[in-house]
Amino acid sequence: MIRMLSWKSRLTIRVTSDLLLILLLHSSYFIIKVLRHKQLGLHFNDDTIKLPLKADTISTSGVGLYSYSLPVLTVSSIYFQMRLLLPQIIGVELIIAVCRRFVTNKTNEWRQTFFFMYNFVVTFLIAAGVSLLLTMLIKYTFGRLRPHFLDVCQPDVLPSAAKLYVDSYTCRGTNKRAVSNAFLSFLSAHASSSAVGVTYAVLYLQQRVHLRIAPLVRPLIQTIYICSCFFVVFTRFTDFKHHATDLIGGLFLGFLCAIVFFLHHLNDTTNGTLTQLEHTEPVFHYGDHAGEHRGMETTRAFCA
């Protein structure tokens, strides 16, 4: 039935379904936040929740901007002279299209470039959306008391009960938003968001950028990305916002989502060329015809 539709109809269905899925996944953040968090019991002699409340080194909006923009930031060492601060994915794919256009003299390179850019960007947005959805579900289903819980909550307990486990109490803290957030330590949204963005960006560079004239540029950029991710994670620990296991869990979730969607979804849209990153022939080269065969079936795979 799908194959009986015209090419434009299939393209419209594909783009519309992708956009709806992305919107649904990311709107889950706001939908789940409306729910009430799980009431957790506590030991008042637990030293891990007695740390003071500190301001965020990196805010939630800041880490969102970082994790979502990183995969589309400019690889400035490659694209600096052409247009600073253009998206990384768009910049790299346009360079590849220009190189192919002059080498192969084909007129459909720009359309293929659009499909490459679309697939890379949409796959990342879906991976980030799934990571965000799972993070919020885990937070509100299981939760955990943050290291600054007692400072924020100020529970109404008697001194004689200071060493007892209590599962029924009332927080007297005046900052209601901070009190509600104090129950949602596990797992770290900062860690999962950073991990999915960095992992996807590193995989993208590994697959699409191969510079023979400057072979250390790509691993240098990848190392900077990875270090920036760990910096974000460490600030959550030093700001007393999360326990170490919260951060490890967030890193693992983000890493897993990026890996699964990068390999699985892009494998379908490029006829399996991305399933084995170490064994595929490089796409982005200077002075040769490597990668010419790639993308020739992109249009058909995109709308199939």
pLDDT digits (tens, 9 = 90+) for 34-52: 888 888 888 878 889 999 9
Question: Is residue 81 one of the residues assigned to a domain?
Answer: yes
Question: Is residue 1 one of the residues assigned to a domain?
Answer: no
What average pLDDT does the chain have? 76
Say what the pTM is.
0.77
Domain residues for the domain of 266 are 7-303
Q: Which residues are catalytic?
A: 190, 242
**Long-range contacts of the stretch 149-157 (C-beta < 8 A, 24+):** 149/42, 149/49, 149/182, 149/183, 150/44, 150/49, 150/50, 151/50, 151/51, 151/52, 151/53, 152/53, 152/178, 152/179, 152/182, 153/179, 153/182, 155/42, 155/44, 157/44
3-state helix, strand, coil in the chain (%, to 5): 60, 5, 35
Mean pLDDT of 253-267: 87
Question: Is residue 275 one of the residues assigned to a domain?
Answer: yes
Q: Tell me, what's the pLDDT at 8?
A: 77
Residues 6+ apart with CB under 8 A from 31: none
Q: In the chain, how many domains are there?
A: 1
Helices (H) and strands (E) in the chain, counts: 11, 2
Question: Is residue 234 one of the residues assigned to a domain?
Answer: yes
Residue 273 CA, chain-centre distance (Å), reads: 22
Query: Over 80: is that where the pLDDT of 102 sits?
Result: no
Question: Is residue 292 one of the residues assigned to a domain?
Answer: yes
Q: Tell me, what's the pLDDT at 292?
A: 38
Query: Over 50: is that where the pLDDT of 24 sits?
Result: yes
